Amino acid sequence: MLPHIEQETIPCRICGKPTRMLGTKLCDGCWEVEHRLEDFLKHPAGRERARQLMPPLDDWKDGQPNGWDHEKVLTENGVTVQWCDRLTSDGVTFTPAPDDLCGWSFSWRHGTIHIGRCTEEIARKAAALFVSLWLRGVTASFCDKLMDGYVSFLERQEGTSISVLAEIGGGHKFPSGDISNKYFLVAREGVCNRVPLYYEAEDRIIEALKLECGESIIITFSTRRGR
């Protein structure tokens, strides 16, 4: 009777189960999936099945929004988030960057992506979203756009804001040929109705935002189509 010889095994590089395949470092099941997956995903039904099996990317946890573990995403993927306010061309000599170029960015094995000016917490969440989307096959260009929208969303949650409709008044032509200056007429239900911005509209907007002296706000003007 031949003596029993214990065969050497190693953990499968995908699932971690013991395998005797020291060369491929794959168990039989993972070898089958890895070598047949490309053909499987060529078919719409195959891609749909793969999407069904992939865990969803969700920021809800225990019934609460914004509860995903974004720090875990950063840690598992070796992501570094840092504030950038210096420029260099050789990696040795640094000079202060112009104010409009300062902001947060993140770096990982695939490169560095600029995030922008926001709080550090928002920057870290934005970096985690970019990485999570990229790992799911979303292009870097699209990830960047979605990350920017996510930053805007998180900033809106942090502060108090109101929106007003602004029309352009003035611009009248006098008999002399002179044209009067143009000005904003702002309107918001419950606040003001087509009032010049420099009249009581200012007071009402400040009151609606509950602003105190010394506080700063961000004002954004944008056009819209239609009325």
Structure tokens that stand for 124 in this block = 């870290």
pLDDT mean over 199-226? 77
Q: Which of 4-18, 77-91, 144-158 is predicted with the least confidence, judged by mean pLDDT? A: 4-18
Provide the pLDDT for residue 157: 83
Comparing CA positions, the residue from 107, 100, 154 lying closest to residue 126 is 154
pLDDT of 43: 95
- DSSP string for residues in 37-105: HHHHTTSHHHHHHHHHHSPP----BTTBTT-S-HHHHHHHTT-EEEEE-EE-SSSS--EEPPGGG-EEE
Q: What is the pLDDT of residue 164?
A: 83
φ, ψ for residue 153, nearest 5 deg: -60, -50
Given a cut of 60, whether residue 216 has pLDDT beyond it is yes
What is the arithmetic mean of pLDDT over 145-162?
88
| 157-187 confidence digits (pLDDT tens) | 887 777 888 888 888 888 888 888 887 888 8
- pLDDT for 123 equals 96
Count other C-beta atoms under 10 Å from residue 128's C-beta: 25
Q: Is 103 left (phi over 0), alpha (psi -120 to 50) or beta?
A: left
Asked if pLDDT for residue 200 goes beyond 80, the answer is no
Q: What mean pLDDT is reported for the chain?
A: 87
Residue 27: band (very low, low, confident or very high) from pLDDT cuts 50, 70, 90: very high
pLDDT band of residue 226 (cuts 50, 70, 90) is: low
CB distance 130 to 139 below 8 Å: no
pLDDT digits (tens, 9 = 90+) for 124-144: 999 999 999 999 989 999 999
Residue 227's pLDDT band (boundaries 50, 70, 90)? low
Residue 86, amino acid: R
Higher pLDDT, residue 42 or 203: 42
Residue 147's SS3 state is helix
Asked whether residue 1 carries a pLDDT value surpassing 70, the answer given is: no
Strands 80-84 and 103-108: what pairing?
A: antiparallel
**Residue 151, phi-psi category: left (phi > 0), alpha (psi -120 to 50), beta (remainder):** alpha
| Residue 202, pLDDT above cutoff 60 | yes
| CA nearest to 200, candidates 217, 188, 213 | 188
What's the pLDDT score for residue 3? 62
Q: In this structure, what token pair is assigned to residue 116?
A: 């922008």
Q: In 10 A of CB 195, how many CB atoms? A: 19
